[in-house]
Structure 1
Amino acid sequence: MAVIKVSVLYPHADGYHFDMDYYVNRHIAMIRERLGSALQKVEIDEGVSGPVPGSTPAFVAAVHMYFASAEAFYAAFTPHARDITKDVANYTGIRPVTQISTVLGN
């Protein structure tokens, strides 16, 4: 059975702040607690550069969360969606972009 990856990406935006410490230690911790065992794995990215050394990264941050299925994600996330999305304002004003993907290989 294919694994589902839910990616939430924060595009670089001039003049916007992103509190990585809050994001990692409070927001992602809340997500782990709320989604429980449905959440199989979490990877957090912090953008450091674009394709040219020293250039601005396209995304300041991203999280990739893995679930057994899209249904497992929705069942775990939906009851907590309001609290999780409301918390975004505590670490950034950047509007995140979300993508749900099937992981095809390693």
Structure 2
Amino acid sequence: MVRITTLYQNTEGAHFDFDYYVDTHLELIRQRMEGAGLVGMEVIKGMSNPDGSPAEHLCIFHIYFTTLEAGLRGIEQHGEEFAADIVNYTNIEPQVQIGAVVHRYTAS
């Protein structure tokens, strides 16, 4: 399983509309990527650093795919549509990181 992470850095003047992101943007992604090996998605809203200072990222988004190739095919096919929607929820330029999930623990 692979995880593609999108990070939205918390900088001065940054804004992020979580309602639009979750209700509209992620629904668009889900609809387009279901046939591309989509396993799941997760949205993290930054709260703070351990020392109480503002979180480094306003939002961190994880999307999981069965294989990197499947995910990248879907992104290649629909990426322009996803990118065009960014202005509707943030003024932050996203950073993307791709990683292989080597271990995952979920408490029952």
TM-score, normalization: structure 1? 0.93
* Runs (5+) with no aligned partner, structure 2: none
Q: What is the rounded CA distance, in whole Å, between the counterparts of 2:89 and 2:63 in structure 1?
A: 19
CA drift of 1:36 comes to 1.1
CA drift of 1:105 comes to 0.5
Structure 1 segments of 4+ aligned residues over 4 angstroms from their partners: none
Alignment-derived partner of residue 90 in structure 1: 88
Alignment-derived partner of residue 42 in structure 1: 41
Matches within 5 A, 1:1-106: 3-37=1-35, 38-53=37-52, 55-106=53-104
SS in 1 for 2:85: helix
Cα RMSD after superposing both structures:
0.9
CA drift of 1:76 comes to 1.5
Of all paired residues, the percent bearing the same amino acid is 34
TM-score, normalization: structure 2? 0.91
